[in-house]
Amino acid sequence: MKLNTDFPQGKIIKIQGNCLVLKGNDIDTDRIIPARFLKCVSFENLGEQVFADDRKELKGNHPFDDSNNKGASILIVNGNFGCGSSREHAPQALMRWGIRGLIGESFAEIFYGNCLALGIPCVTASKINLEEIQSAIEKKASDKYIIDLEKETFQNYNNEWKVSIEVGPKQMLISGQWDATSQLISNHHKLLKLHDQLPYLENFNN
Amino acid sequence: MSSGTLYDKVWDLHRIAELPGGGSQLFIGLHLIHEVTSPQAFAALAEKKLKVCCPERTIATVDHIVPTISQQRPFADPLAEEMLSTLEKNCEEHQIKLHGLHSGNQGIVHVIAPELGLSQPGMTIACGDSHTSTHGAFGAIAFGIGTSQVRDVLASQSLAMNKLKVRRIWVDGQLKNGVYAKDLILHVIRRLGVKGGVGYAYEFAGPAIEVLSMEERMTICNMAIEGGARCGYINPDETTFEYLKKHTQEIHKENWGKALIWWRSICSNPNAIYDDEVEINASQIAPTITWGITPGQGIGINECLPIPDLLEENEKAIAKEAYRYMDLKPGKPITGTPIDVCFIGSCTNGRLSDLQAAASIVKGRHVAKDVKAFVVPGSEQVSKEAKREGLDKIFLNSGFEWREPGCSMCLAMNPDRLEGSQISASSSNRNFKGRQGSANGRTLLMSPAMVAAAAIEGSITDVRNFISGN
Ligand code: SF4
């Protein structure tokens, strides 16, 4: 299987693609990526291992194995998704499988933060909207949808639903400032100035 | 809010910018890496097509996964082998100095950086390991970080941080004979609790701290994190400068005067303001030992095990849980508790002076029947120095095993592990459930000299009975 390795970068305003519906409340990070996969030197292979045990149990009938869902980039879930351990491996596994945005009733806090740090928005929808969204997608899986973070909508060519995202994360994503690493790198010129006040950097040679 | 402390000064000098999401960007003077928390960080760099910002400020070694009996490559455990070869590959690719096995400088990351003269006053030091607080012994601000922060430091030599509060722990009086730095810090954690330091940097000061050697100071700062403080530090003084003079080659003679001036300038001012101050009297501290499942569950060697219902409200539940796990009896003395395994080593107590103290107890005596006792030097340098003094012979003659350097039985990532419900006397720093490799293995933390005494006696005993003049 070819996984989407074009990871989020820069300003994140719209997420476009096919959707995958995964029903159920309280889906924890242990299910998203079982503990044994944490013994690894890179996150690289996690994409294939996403929901490994659930998928094994359903013998190919899991939504992540359904050929209709191949290439999906928007994951539709229910409530308290991503609860349990703080492992960054969970959003990493989803991202590496191809997920670029999530819509659900609610998300566990640490999971939400870990996703944000990867540039993956977790937006919320009301229960009623979510049911409508799920059934629309189930009727026609091949349709492309858009999460519009600026307008806070989820839409395709003939439907539009209201979704929401918290103000802070919204600003961070649409301004492209969700990534700590690039923020830190962007101040590199200021870092060079420290040499004057930190004589240890030159072993007190200056 | 604190002002004029070493922490405040180091913070101000290293602050690069204020970040949009709140918090500050802090420059990191020294980044230490090892095989466990760095591979994903390097992988993340590669994915973002980034380079290591300051390879010359990054130093690597291998410690957690190395076996301590045969260090022959490839290791028997393929995963351990993969972790080490990944580190080797990453260091080579990014031109990072790796102090690898048999280099003469390999060892536990918090043991080797001071030995190599890398840990210095006024620096910021980060490492993907919580016991990075150790380097605070030099008057550095040193803290542990997670894997995504390791990536950030590799990429930018800086971190997004929030400023901590500062608590001064003033230790009056002097430690008595047979009472060590380990007892002092176990006592502090017992007093202030394992969460007491959350949100704080700990400044250790006072007459009892001033007389400590650098190695003893490292033991104290090492366990600041077990008290919840992300970093602990001691203001640099003549003891610090003397150690540095021996260990730093990079600062040339003609610059030494400049170094001293700067190092002195970053010390806490006499009129510094602290967010909190605590006083402790060293002369009242007895050899201290943990009996439970957190480093805060300590008692003096002559005390009886606490009765949970008589403890403070917030300690009751964890005490009961500890009794269920440890299979010890409330109200009974801790002395006389039989021991299966004795471990001398770790970044808390695997340095030369620790081995010297333990050797002085075991010399001319023998490990009790059915006790497995072993010594794991903290680094190749410690091992070499100990051998030069004949300490290895003393231990071997007493029935101890003498191992190669590494983290060993401090945690369960290498072949050294407890089995079943074995109970260990350990000079390490964590007594969490399962920490030493068996899901129901039990750990009693204490000083290396106390571990040595337990090994000889076959059970927990007061080391002061082994010391002449007591
Ligand atoms: S000796 Fe123990 S605490 Fe220290 S670095 Fe190794 S595993 Fe961590």
pLDDT digits (tens, 9 = 90+) for B61-94: 999 999 999 999 999 999 899 999 999 999 999 9
Query: Is the same domain home to B204 and B231?
Result: yes
pLDDT at residue B142, as a whole number: 97
CA of B451 to the centre of ligand 1 (A): 18
Mean pLDDT computed over every residue of chain B: 95
Q: What is the CA radius of gyration of chain A?
A: 19
Examine the pLDDT at B21 and tell me if it is beyond 80.
no
Query: Is the same domain home to B116 and B239?
Result: yes
CB B336 within 8 A of CB B328: no
Query: Is the same domain home to B235 and B105?
Result: yes
Of B266, B284, B302, which closes a domain?
Answer: B284
Number of domains in chain B: 2
Query: Is the same domain home to B108 and B217?
Result: yes
Q: Is B411 in the pocket of ligand 1 (CB under 6 A)?
A: yes
CA distance A63 to A98: 14
Query: Is the same domain home to B143 and B175?
Result: yes
CB B83 within 8 A of CB B128: no
pLDDT tens digit sequence for A118-134 = 899 999 999 999 999 99
CA of B402 to the centre of ligand 1 (A): 18
Query: Is the same domain home to B337 and B252?
Result: no
Q: Is B141 in the pocket of ligand 1 (CB under 6 A)?
A: no
**Interface residue of B48, B62, B91, B138 to substitute, partner A, most A CBs within 10 Å:** B48
pLDDT at residue A38, as a whole number: 67
Query: Is the same domain home to B271 and B324?
Result: no
pLDDT tens digit sequence for A158-192 = 899 999 998 878 988 998 888 878 889 989 888 88
pLDDT at residue A198, as a whole number: 95
Which amino acid is located at B368 in the chain?
A
Tell me the residue range of the domain where B247 lies.
1-284
pLDDT tens digit sequence for A25-68 = 888 887 898 866 766 777 888 999 999 989 998 999 999 999 99
Query: Is the same domain home to B53 and B128?
Result: yes
Which residues of chain A lie closer than 8 angstroms to B16, CB-CB?
187, 190-191, 194
Query: Is the same domain home to B275 and B325?
Result: no
Hey, are the CB atoms on B39 and A41 less than 8 Å from each other? Answer: yes
Hey, are the CB atoms on A41 and B86 less than 8 Å from each other? Answer: yes
Of B284, B307, B326, which closes a domain?
Answer: B284
Hey, are the CB atoms on A200 and B86 less than 8 Å from each other? Answer: no
Q: Is B34 in the pocket of ligand 1 (CB under 6 A)?
A: no
CA B21 to the chain's CA centroid: 33
Which token pair is B418? 């407890």
Query: Is the same domain home to B248 and B294?
Result: no
Which token pair is B264? 């002195």
Q: Tell me what the mean pLDDT of segment A74-97 comes to.
A: 88
- Which residue, chain included where needed, has tokens 């012979």? B393
Q: What is the CATH number of the domain that holds B361?
A: 3.30.499.10
**Protein residue with its CA nearest to atom 2 in ligand 1:** B410
In A73-167 the beta strands, taken as DSSP E runs, fall at: 74-76, 101-104, 122-124, 145-148, 153-155, 160-162
Nearest CA in chain A to B154: A181
pLDDT at residue B19, as a whole number: 80
| Domain ranges within chain A, ordered by starting residue | 14-175, 179-206
CA B214 to the chain's CA centroid: 13
Query: Is the same domain home to B301 and B248?
Result: no
CATH class (in words) of the domain with range A14-175? alpha beta
Query: Is the same domain home to B256 and B399?
Result: no
Of residues B21 and B344, more confidence is placed in B344
